[in-house]
Structures are given as structure tokens and as C-alpha cells.
Amino acid sequence: MRIHAGAGRHFDLRSAQRHLPETVYDLIVAWARPVHGAGAVFLTLREVDLPRDLRSSALARQARGWIVVQSRDGIALTCYRRAHATAFLRRRKAGRSDQPRRIAA
């Protein structure tokens, strides 16, 4: 099992099971734009967030679709792959509301 600096045990287990390369994790943490929701921070990498020289690299291609979930303190909690990760996070955030849900009678 790999141990990432600033990562929880669950993250280490999941990243090993899901074959998240450490180089991809480092790239995501360094360049991803955070999306806050559900008490956590979701990181996914968009090509436009990368410097031009990294955008078409093999490493950037490997990072497509990965989502890293961190606590608000920056501790990595879990990771997973999702097709169209950026759109998924945008929809996920749009579906959340601070207003209590009304339950039909």
C-alpha cells in the first residue's frame, strides 16, 4: 500500500485498488480547481487549468476522468474515475441546496 503525504488510510487503499498513479495524483493536487460540496473538496483536472506545455502530455491524458476527494483540511479521502468528471461535478453541485427539502404529504 502506498502512503501519500496528506492522505488518509482509506485513500491509500482506494488509490491502490483503482490504480491511481502517484504522478497523476500529484498533477491533480497541483493544478485542479477545487469544487466545494457536501463538506468536502472535489478535485478534477481540466486541460485549461494546466500550463500549455502539459496539456497534451501523456500525464494529462492519464489524469482525465479522475476525481480526488479531500476534506476541507486537505486530507485526501478517496478517489475514483468518472467519464466526463467535470460535468459530473458541475451537475452534482447544481443539485445541492442549502435549503431544507420539502417533503410531500
Given this model, what pLDDT does residue 5 score? 58
8 A C-beta contact, residue 15 and residue 81: no
In whole angstroms, give the CA distance from residue 48 to residue 18.
25
Helices (H), 1-105: 9-17, 22-31, 52-55, 58-63, 85-94
Range with lowest mean pLDDT among 33-47, 59-73, 85-99? 85-99
Determine phi and psi for 84, rounding to 5 degrees.
Answer: 55, 55
pLDDT classification of 99: cutoffs 50, 70, 90:
very low
pLDDT classification of 90: cutoffs 50, 70, 90:
low
Cell 476534506, residue located: 71
Instruction: Using alpha carbons, list the distances in angstroms from residue 8 to 12, 44, 103.
Output: 7, 18, 36
The C-alpha R_g of the chain, in whole angstroms, comes to 15
Domain assignments of the chain as residue spans, ordered by start: 9-90
Position 52, amino acid:
R
Enter the pTM of the model. Answer: 0.74
- The neighbouring-strand residues paired with 71 are 40
Given this model, what pLDDT does residue 82 score? 83
Average model confidence (pLDDT) across the chain: 81
- Whether residue 1 is predicted with pLDDT greater than 70 in this model: the reply is no
